[in-house]
Amino acid sequence: MASVSAQQVEDTLKTVEDPNIGKNFVACKAVKDIQVEGDKVSIQIELGYPAMSMREQMATLINDKVAQLEGVKDVDITIGWKIQSHSVQKSLKPLENIKNVIAVASGKGGVGKSTTAVNLALALSAEGATVGILDADIYGPSQPRMLGVSGQPESSDGKSLEPMLGHGIQAMSIGFLIDEETPMIWRGPMVTQALEQLLNDTRWRDLDYLVVDLPPGTGDVQLTLAQKIPVSGAVIVTTPQDIALLDARKGLKMFEKVEVPVLGIVENMSVHICSQCGHEEPIFGTGGGERMAQENDVELLGKLPLDMSIREQVDGGEPTVISSPDSRVSEIYKEIARKTAAKLAGQSKDYAAKFPKIVIQNT
């Protein structure tokens, strides 16, 4: 019996879709190597985003098709990933030690931006990335509480700060440096300055992703931050009500203005799930997130229910992704994490990190 060719295997891979991107593996440039030895086929897949919890499922998708080919008896599939640095605003340079900054923003406060940011960060970490979180909500820092971390960061030289560690991710927040009980009065320029310092003076350790929990709103402070922090992509959190969506749209416009790609939106508090009987009720209406995504041509990354356990877990310092990693809600956060990272992987790379700077001199 004639053995299969690598080309035939590749053609077959063109019919298998990467579920996190919605394009086939060849089109995603994820097929790194194909080897054929007699009736044995080995396939190496290299994704641009972490996907620990979906490895097996993706291998099965591929195996189901390739094993059908005539002359194939044994299929060996390895799935790995390599996270690259993606470009930032034209006038800025990416930060050292941080491959990608992902900003999490919302049009207004109280929509669950911090809850989403911390669960997104933890989900990226669970999927296999090295992750940090910067709590940039200087008015109401909540990451120390949400990560269940207290104490003060160490500084060996009196200038730089070691990030704190919570549930396996690196974290920095103004909440670690000032007393939570003492309200601070910040003027706009002070906010940006303090945040630039927190970002730049923290000794982040080789992060694939730094998730930034931005202050809520789309005012001057947020705009300045969006201009000054080198961001590779933004995620916008909204609740499904019309007014919230209106504010979220302002967020989209703000990132458009500073040329930061919006990776997608997350609809939070979508349906209420009754903790007594489990029945679902869309108290804030339905379809808002979908509509907004469609109208603005951005992806709806996922929808989180209004669920008492999300609040109890995050407010208790053990966000859902950590306290019930196998729950439906954790699955949704992980799917959002994979889709966010996959979307980012499809953006242009930061070539400065790859090629030496070329200087052309007139002689």
Ligand X SMILES: Nc1ncnc2c1ncn2[C@@H]1O[C@H](COP(=O)(O)OP(=O)(O)O)[C@@H](O)[C@H]1O
Our finding on whether 282 is near ligand X (CB under 6 A) is no
Residue 112 interacting entry, from Mg ion, Zn ion, ligand X, none, C-beta within 5 to 8 Å by type: ligand X
Residue 170 interacting entry, from Zn ion, ligand X, Mg ion, none, C-beta within 5 to 8 Å by type: none
Three-state helix/strand/coil letters over the chain: CCCCCHHHHHHHHCCCEECCCCEECCCCCCEEEEEEECCEEEEEEEECCCCHHHHHHHHHHHHHHHCCCCCCCEEEEEEEECCCCECCCCCCCCCCCEEEEEEEEECCCCCCHHHHHHHHHHHHHHCCCCEEEEECCCCCCCHHHHHCCCCCCCCCCCCCECCEEECCEEEEEHHHCCCCCCCCCCCHHHHHHHHHHHHHHECCCCEEEEEEECCCCCCHHHHHHHHHCCCCEEEEEECCCHHHHHHHHHHHHHHHHCCCCEEEEEECCCCEECCCCCCEECCCCCCHHHHHHHHHCCCEEEECCECHHHHHHHHCCCCHHHHCCCCHHHHHHHHHHHHHHHHHHCCCECHHHCCCCCCCCCC
Our finding on whether 314 is near ligand X (CB under 6 A) is yes
Q: Give the residue from 264, 259, 243, 254 showing the smallest Cα distance to 339.
A: 264
d(CA 304, CA 331): 10
Given candidates 114, 202, 313, 320, which one binds Mg ion under the rule CB under 5 A? 114
Residue 315 interacting entry, from Mg ion, ligand X, Zn ion, none, C-beta within 5 to 8 Å by type: ligand X
CA dihedral 83, 233, 346, 328 (to 10 degrees): 80
Residue 224 interacting entry, from Mg ion, ligand X, Zn ion, none, C-beta within 5 to 8 Å by type: none
Binding region for ligand X (CB under 6 A) out of 32-40, 107-115, 147-155, 196-204:
107-115
Closest to ligand X by CB, 70 or 315: 315
Our finding on whether 222 is near Mg ion (CB under 5 A) is no
Our finding on whether 145 is near ligand X (CB under 6 A) is no
Strand partners, 104: 213, 235
Given candidates 315, 316, 328, 352, which one binds ligand X under the rule CB under 6 A? 315
Our finding on whether 274 is near Zn ion (CB under 5 A) is yes
Residue 274 interacting entry, from ligand X, Zn ion, Mg ion, none, C-beta within 5 to 8 Å by type: Zn ion
Closest to Zn ion by CB, 274 or 308: 274
Residue 67 interacting entry, from ligand X, Zn ion, Mg ion, none, C-beta within 5 to 8 Å by type: none
Given candidates 127, 247, 307, 335, which one binds ligand X under the rule CB under 6 A? 307
Residue 311 interacting entry, from Zn ion, ligand X, Mg ion, none, C-beta within 5 to 8 Å by type: ligand X
Given candidates 156, 182, 276, 363, which one binds Zn ion under the rule CB under 5 A? 276
Binding region for ligand X (CB under 6 A) out of 34-42, 89-97, 244-252, 300-308:
300-308
Site for Mg ion in 272-331 (CB under 5 A): none
Closest to Mg ion by CB, 128 or 216: 216
Binding region for Mg ion (CB under 5 A) out of 2-10, 139-147, 315-323, 349-357:
139-147
Residues of the shown chain interacting with ligand X in the complex, contacts defined by CB under 6 A: 106, 109-115, 142, 216, 268-269, 304, 306-307, 310-311, 314-315
Catalog residues that contact Zn ion under the rule CB under 5 A: 274, 276-277, 279
